[in-house]
Each structure stands twice: as structure tokens, then as C-alpha cells.
């Protein structure tokens, strides 16, 4: 049996012959396609212009070579490389067209996998370099900042007779800025040196409630309505409670901040069971009616040092993504109709064998 699919059509493109390999690859019996146009295999991905170019080439008596992303009888997509040429009679007239095709689906899959691995390798190397830089900067700045902070604290404790009200106010402002810088350094160190996971069986609702309590003051100050819905029957998760509290604290804080310009600010948090191909998981949706996220920002929001805010390092969501990657979890962003954004986190109900209680490849990712 030929390893290639053979198809012969008349000059109008109607199928006159297919070999057994065609049936094996496409799922169609010969009787189902004889007399029909090869468009029965179309997936809709090849453009009309490409088909037009194909026909112009073969009608001129030249050979056309290319690839098709076709659809089998059962609906599955598959890739074929094809060589299509004219068959002439003894007078040199074109009487048929011959297509020799090969199923290259597996080849395409392997190429895509290799390309993905190469991208991940380049990304990991870039992240490692950025992590080393962040660690160096954080270490070099932390000690001088501590000295300045201590000096300002001592100065601020002096009596009103020793320093003026204006000087005291300047000390207070300076200390606030130092605390802000310390938060930046903490984020940089957290990103550059991810801690090992300490997984245990936990209840996700308790973790989220703790994260909510950390943002309670902002919620009350901005008069934000917070709606929480934990579906019945949520399973326990094998995860690091401290790390996940950090994740949800960051995501909830971002959602609250996004609503600051809304007339009726609202944040909804919903947790439910998610049944997928890889097993049971818990899905958490955090939706706000705030300013939303632009399409231009969507592709970059989880990249380190990317931020749309005047203040901040852009490491918050990068740390969130890293922690979720350690938990074999996923995170995605979508629009919240009619306004705002939704963050969806899907955490697998993982046995101990699926979560390695180590940092995410340690310094290789740092």
C-alpha cells in the first residue's frame, strides 16, 4: 500500500479516483467522495486566494506544492503536504489533475512542541538574568535604606523643641517613601528567589477569606460592594496556603483598585468545582466593574517589570503567575460584561506526587 494519499480529479476538480490511503487518512470511503469536489475536506483555514493561486498554477501545467489543514470525516483536523500537477494526453492536453499528499500532522505537532520548548528556554534564560539583576539591586539597596530609615525614625522621635513641625512632616513623608521602596525591594527579592512550597491539605475558602481581610480597609474606605459565593462541595486542595494567600491578596487588591473610578464599585468572588480532562479542580473567578484591561496590556500583564501604574515594579502579577505555575494551576483574564475584568484561577485538586515542594526550578528561573 502506498504511503501517500493519491487523488485524481477531472479538469473541473471533481474526484475520479482515491487510493486506500485516502480512506485511512480522511475517514471517507471512495464511494463517498467520487464525483465530489475535494472541498469536502476543507477546514475553512485555507483562504480563497490560496485556492485560486493553486488552480491557476496547475491549469497552466505547472506543479503546485504546499500544505493543507484539512478536516477528517469525524471532524478532526489534520495537516497534509501536497504536490498537485496536471496529467496530459498524447496531444498534450490537460485531462486530469493528480494530487500526491502525505499526512504530516505528527511532524507539525513535533515542530510546534520544539518551538514551544525553545521559546520557554529563551524565556527562562531571560527571567534568570532579570532575577539575578533584581537580587543584586535589592541586596545593594536594602542596607543603605535601613540606615536612612533608622536616622529618620530617630529624628522623628525628637521633641517639638528640637525640630520644627515642617521638619517632622518631612520626616513622615520620607519614611512613607522608604516603606514604599522596601515593598519594591521585597517584591524584587521574592521574584528573584522564589521560596520552596510547603503544601498541605487546605480549604480554599479559608485562604480567600484571609486574603479578603487584608484588603478590608481599602474596601471600606472606597465603599466597595464585595459579593462572595462559595459553591457547596468545594474539595480540599493540596497546596501552600501562605503562597495562595499571597496570590489572592494581590488579585483582590488589584480588583479593588481597578474600581476606584466607578460610580458603584463592586467586586464579585466566586469559587466552584471545575471538571476537566485532567481531573477535578477548583475555579475561582474574581470580577470587578472597574476600568478593565486593554488588549495591548493583556499579553504582557504577567511579564516581570511590566506595569501600567505610576507606582509599582510590575512584579505583583509575575509573582502570582510563578506561584500558580508551581501549583500546576492556570490563570487567565477576560472582559467582565458590561464593564471591568475577570481573573480566573483554576487550581487542580492535586495529590502530593503532582506538586514538588521546591522552588520553581530554583535559580534557573530566578
| Whether residue 192 has a cis bond before it, omega within 30° of 0 | no
Tell me which residue of 30, 1, 10 sits closest to 18, measured CA to CA: 30
Q: Which CATH class is domain 5-103?
A: alpha beta
Task: Give CA–CA dist 207/68, Å, rounded.
Answer: 49
Helix (H, G, I), strand (E, B) or coil at 94: strand
Strands 200-202 vs 237-239: parallel, antiparallel or unpaired = antiparallel
Q: Check if the beta carbon of residue 79 is closer than 8 Å to that of residue 61.
A: no
Task: Give CA–CA dist 236/348, Å, rounded.
Answer: 10
- CATH (one of 3.30.565.10, 3.40.50.2000, 3.40.50.970, 3.30.360.10) for 200-364: 3.30.565.10
Q: String of b and e for 273-302 (b: at least 16 CB within 10 Å)?
A: ebeeeeeebbbbbbbbbbbbbeeeeeeebb
Chain centroid offset of residue 252 CA = 19
Q: Where are the domains of the chain?
A: 5-103, 115-192, 200-364
Q: String of b and e for 89-109 (b: at least 16 CB within 10 Å)?
A: eeeeeeeebbbbbbbbbeebe
The secondary structure of 299-356 as a DSSP string is TTTTSTT--SSSS--S-HHHHHHHHHHHTT-EEEEEE-SSSSEEEEEEEE---GGGS-
Task: Give CA–CA dist 98/84, Å, rounded.
Answer: 6
The cell for 200 is 498541605
Burial of 163 (0-12, 13-18, 19+ CB in 10 A): middle
User: What is the pLDDT, as a whole number, of residue 358?
Assistant: 46
User: What is the pLDDT, as a whole number, of residue 41?
Assistant: 92
Burial of 63 (0-12, 13-18, 19+ CB in 10 A): exposed
Per-residue pLDDT of the chain (366 residues; tens, 9 = 90+): 568 999 999 999 999 999 999 999 999 999 999 999 998 899 888 888 888 899 999 999 999 999 999 999 999 999 999 999 999 999 999 999 999 999 999 999 999 889 988 987 887 777 677 677 777 777 778 778 888 888 888 887 777 777 788 888 888 888 888 887 887 777 777 776 667 788 899 999 999 999 998 888 877 777 889 899 999 989 999 999 999 999 999 999 889 888 888 888 899 999 999 887 677 899 999 999 888 887 777 777 777 776 776 666 677 888 898 889 888 899 999 888 888 899 999 999 865 445 544 444 433 333
Looking at the domain that runs over 115-192, which CATH code has it been given? Answer: 1.10.287
Task: Give CA–CA dist 353/356, Å, rounded.
Answer: 7
The cell for 189 is 527579592
What torsion, rounded to 10 degrees, do the Cα atoms 284, 285, 290, 292 define?
110
Amino acid at each position: 500500500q502506498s504511503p501517500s494519499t493519491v487523488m485524481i480529479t477531472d479538469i473541473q476538480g471533481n474526484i475520479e479516483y482515491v487510493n486506500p490511503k485516502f480512506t485511512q487518512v480522511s475517514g471517507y470511503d471512495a464511494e463517498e467522495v467520487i464525483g465530489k469536489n475535494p472541498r469536502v475536506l476543507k477546514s475553512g483555514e485555507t483562504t480563497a486566494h490560496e485556492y485560486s493561486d493553486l488552480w491557476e498554477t496547475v491549469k497552466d501545467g505547472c506543479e503546485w506544492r504546499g500544505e493543507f489543514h484539512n478536516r477528517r470525516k469525524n471532524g478532526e483536523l489534520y495537516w497534509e503536504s501536497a504536490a498537485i500537477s496536471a496529467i496530459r494526453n498524447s496531444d498534450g492536453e490537460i485531462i486530469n489533475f493528480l494530487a500526491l499528499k502525505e499526512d504530516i500532522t505528527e511532524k507539525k505537532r513535533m515542530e510546534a512542541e520544539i518551538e514551544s520548548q525553545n521559546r520557554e528556554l529563551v524565556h527562562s534564560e531571560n527571567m534568570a538574568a532579570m532575577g539575578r539583576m533584581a537580587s543584586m539591586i535589592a541586596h545593594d539597596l536594602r542596607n543603605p535604606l535601613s540606615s536612612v530609615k533608622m536616622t529618620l525614625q530617630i529624628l522623628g522621635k525628637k521633641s517639638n523643641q528640637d525640630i520644627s513641625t515642617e521638619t517632622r512632616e518631612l520626616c513622615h513623608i520620607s519614611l512613607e517613601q522608604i516603606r514604599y521602596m522596601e515593598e519594591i525591594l521585597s517584591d524584587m527579592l521574592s521574584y528573584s528567589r522564589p521560596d520552596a512550597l510547603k503544601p498541605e491539605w487546605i480549604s480554599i475558602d479559608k485562604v480567600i477569606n484571609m486574603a479578603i481581610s487584608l484588603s478590608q480597609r481599602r474596601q471600606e474606605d472606597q465603599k466597595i460592594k464585595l459579593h462572595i459565593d462559595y459553591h457547596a462541595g468545594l474539595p480540599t486542595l493540596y497546596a501552600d496556603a501562605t503562597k495562595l494567600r499571597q496570590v489572592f491578596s494581590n488579585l483582590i487588591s488589584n480588583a479593588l483598585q481597578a474600581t476606584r473610578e466607578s460610580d458603584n464599585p463592586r467586586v464579585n468572588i466566586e469559587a466552584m468545582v471545575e471538571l476537566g480532562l485532567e481531573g477535578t479542580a477548583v475555579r475561582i473567578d474574581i470580577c470587578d466593574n472597574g476600568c478593565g484591561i486593554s488588549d495591548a496590556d493583556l499579553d504582557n500583564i504577567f511579564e516581570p517589570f511590566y506595569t501600567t501604574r505610576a507606582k509599582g515594579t510590575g512584579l505583583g502579577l509575575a509573582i502570582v503567575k510563578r506561584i500558580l505555575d508551581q501549583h500546576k494551576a492556570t490563570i487567565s483574564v477576560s472582559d467582565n460584561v458590561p464593564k471591568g475584568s475577570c481573573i480566573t484561577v483554576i487550581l487542580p485538586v492535586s495529590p502530593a506526587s503532582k506538586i514538588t515542594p521546591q522552588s520553581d526550578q530554583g535559580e534557573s528561573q530566578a
